[in-house]
Structure 1
Amino acid sequence: MMIRNSIALVTGANRGIGAAMVDAQLAAGAAKVYAAARQPVAHADPRVVPLELDVADPAAIAAAAERAGDVTLLINNAGVLEGGDIFTAGADAVERQLVVNGLAPLRLAAAFAPALRRSQGAIANILSVVALAPMPGLASYSASKALAASLTGSLRASLAGDGVSVHAVFPGPVDTDMAAEIDMPKTSPADVAAAVLAGIEAGDAEIFPDAFARQVAAGWAQDPRAVAAQFAA
């Protein structure tokens, strides 16, 4: 699909990749962008419609779908990250992140599916390279993104016959508040947003929006166990 004249909804639009996605879509000529976050997002561009949304609340998701029934592009970006190995983080951390990172994109896709079927639109789920192989220091986050990646594939298969494209986005480290404690070179949110939109327009099922992610993708295609071993180390 083309971004120009699209009507998008971006979750987690108050900062980081989400805020950059809003600006990138405006620059690409989107007709309207619903900027969804727990606290309404103010923006100078009149095409931006602030939308209060807690993605962990199914009732709030249903209300958002009622209000934004003209959406043609859903970008599931909202996420949470808790560090620690699997025993330090524990099952409660896994559960908290599964709700936001894994189940919320599915619930949003289901709520907006009627609108997206009408428009033959698109869904882009912002995942992570750790969805491919876990990093022990991000054990529960990795698990939640792996679930989201699997569900993204299921959504793609279920919606393909309706003309709705579903894109899985696998960024590496991005320079956001959420990744502030990760000591690695990071890509700017603006560069990631631009690559995501380019991938959507190109019809790429999987989008690796930065150099680190593309390196991981190449390694994964050649030897997944080697990538897993590298991440584990």
Structure 2
Amino acid sequence: ARDPASVTLAGVIPVKLDVTSDADVDAAARQCSDVTLVINNAGIAATGGVMQADAMESAQRHMNTNYFGLMRVSRAFAPVLAANGGGALLNVLSIASWFQRPMLGLYASTKSAAWAVTNVLRHELREQKTQVIGLHVGFIDTDLTKGFEVQKTSAVEVARISLDGVEAGLEEILVDEVTKQVKGSLSSATPAYLAPL
């Protein structure tokens, strides 16, 4: 967490970690040398698309957290996972990896990039026996989605499905029905990402 004092769950040892900081990420990897499961869940999601006035600045903020942050953490913890028998790396992606709309256009762009790097990591870390999982989900009921009046999956349900997927050895987890439908449409004559607004 950026602020370890904000973590108050019983049995949890909070670690200072800002995924946009190389120093924080490297320190966390040194401190957590017994880790066997890394979950890349940090993310930001501001509204707006490519043509908005502050698009370049917003895109850089989104990329630094949602894409480069995921890369930083994955690169720093890959040797830790290898030293502990391989373990698993679970990257929380999004239905937006495949379904982009201007309302969350910059966020979606970073999730598409994060999906691609997840697929690369899967190949790169296979030899060290690290299970790399891409978790795709629509809206999760968290602080990040407070302002959106849409159907949401509870964070507890996402966690349960995620851990079940790790246990089952999955490489991709599609949490909800809408995500499954969008993924299924990709090879159809009318993929979801081409549907008119």
Corresponding position of 2:81:
116
User: Any unmatched runs of 5+ in structure 1?
Assistant: 1-36
Corresponding letter in the other structure for 2:73: L
Is 2:171 the partner of 1:205?
yes
Tell me whether 99-108 or 211-220 shows the greater mean CA deviation.
Answer: 211-220
Deviation per residue, 1:49-104 (Å, 9 max, x gap)? 11111111011100001100111110000101110122115111111010100011
Tell me the number of residue pairs that the alignment of Structure 1 and Structure 2 aligns.
193
Corresponding letter in the other structure for 1:190: V
Corresponding position of 1:81:
45
Extract structure 1 runs of 4+ deviating beyond 3 A: none
Cα offset, 1:221, TM superposition: 4.4
User: Any unmatched runs of 5+ in structure 2?
Assistant: none
SS at match of 1:207: strand
SS at match of 2:102: coil
Deviation per residue, 1:151-186 (Å, 9 max, x gap)? 101110100111111000111111112112223211
Of 1, 11, 15, the residue aligned with 1:51 is 15
Corresponding position of 1:156:
122
Report percent identity of matched pairs.
34
Corresponding position of 2:72:
107
For residues 161 and 192 of structure 1, the distance between their equivalents in structure 2, rounded to whole angstroms, comes to 28
Is 2:194 the partner of 1:229?
yes
For residues 80 and 182 of structure 2, the distance between their equivalents in structure 1, rounded to whole angstroms, comes to 34
Report the TM-score, using the length of structure 2 for normalisation.
0.93
Corresponding letter in the other structure for 2:166: I
For residues 174 and 221 of structure 1, the distance between their equivalents in structure 2, rounded to whole angstroms, comes to 26
Report the TM-score, using the length of structure 1 for normalisation.
0.79
Corresponding position of 2:111:
145
